[in-house]
Every structure is written in C-alpha cells, then in structure tokens.
Amino acid sequence: MLLHAVAEAKHGRGSLQSAFDAVAKMTGRRPNSVRNRYYTELKQQTPDEPLFVPFTEAESDELVRQVLLARAEGLSVRACTMRLADGDTRRMLRYQNKYRALLKNSPERVERIRKTLSEQGFDTPDPYRPDPDAPRIGRPKKATVPAAAIRRLLDVLYQDLLALSKGEAG
C-alpha cells in the first residue's frame, strides 16, 4: 500500500509527504512512522546504496561561500541554490535547506566565512540582517492591484455580460 501510494504521488507530481499522510490516515499510524517504514523498505531494496549522503565540512563551507557571493550579486537564496544545482529542483532544495540550517545552527561558521571573503575583497551582505532595499535578481515581486480597480473591472465585465445576454452588441 505504501509503495503504491508513493508511486502514485510521484506520478501525479505529488509530494512524498502527501503519500505518507494518506497512508497514515488509512492505517491509523502517524505520518512519521509511515515515512520511517518507507525509508526502511528502500534501504532493504538497495542495501549498498546510501539513501542520504551528508555534506562534508568542506562542501558546507563552499555552499555558504557560494550563497554569500551570489547574495552580494543580488540573487535570492533560492535563485543561487537553483544555479548551484544546475536546475535540479531536488538538489536545489537540499542546498537551500542545508544553507538555512547552517545559518540557524552555525552562525560562527557563517561569520568566519564572511570574514574570509571580506579579507579577499568581497563585500557580502549580512544574512542575519537582510537589506530590504537591496536589488533582487530572480522572480519580480508580485504587483498588488488596488481593490477599487478590481471592482471597476468587474463592474465593466458585468455590464458587458448583461448586454450580451440581452443580445445587445457593444
């Protein structure tokens, strides 16, 4: 049941978590228990192949270095990690999660890397104090449309629909 639910989630572009949640609901188990069962099952199928390869210290440092340099160029963390992952969304999420975990759990490490970059002549933004006015490369901010403008548009559309329903050409 679990492997079938995971296969359906993958085929339907769903998340693993949605499959775990569905199986948990059907079996009365907790989603974390279902997740653990899934990874145990995978491990049994491929015993010599690691399911998860942790970052080395050097890889972690290089990730922080690359993200800080990209942030200095104006890239968002997401855009930078996507670039590092060569467009692979799974790798991008892994890089992004690792970077955010390092920010949270190893601020002294991040600061050491920033200091080294500064000594090399690179001015990087402080990831703990983001600059809201910094240029941002990537997805543009969503434009907000005033509610009054939306109401006017809907009124005009409504009037046009009424005219059309009465056979009046506008």
| Choice between 15 and 96, residue whose per-residue pLDDT is larger | 96
Instruction: Check residue 70 and give its pLDDT.
Output: 93
Query: How far is it, in rounded angstroms, from Cα 110 to Cα 65?
Result: 8
Q: Domain ranges for the chain, please list them.
A: 2-45, 54-170
Report which of residues 170 and 113 the model is more confident about.
113
- Predicted confidence at residue 30, as pLDDT, reads 92
Q: How confident is the model at residue 116 (pLDDT cuts 50, 70, 90)?
A: very high
How many CA atoms within 13 Å lie on the side-chain side of 138? 17
Instruction: Say whether pLDDT at 109 is over 90.
Output: yes
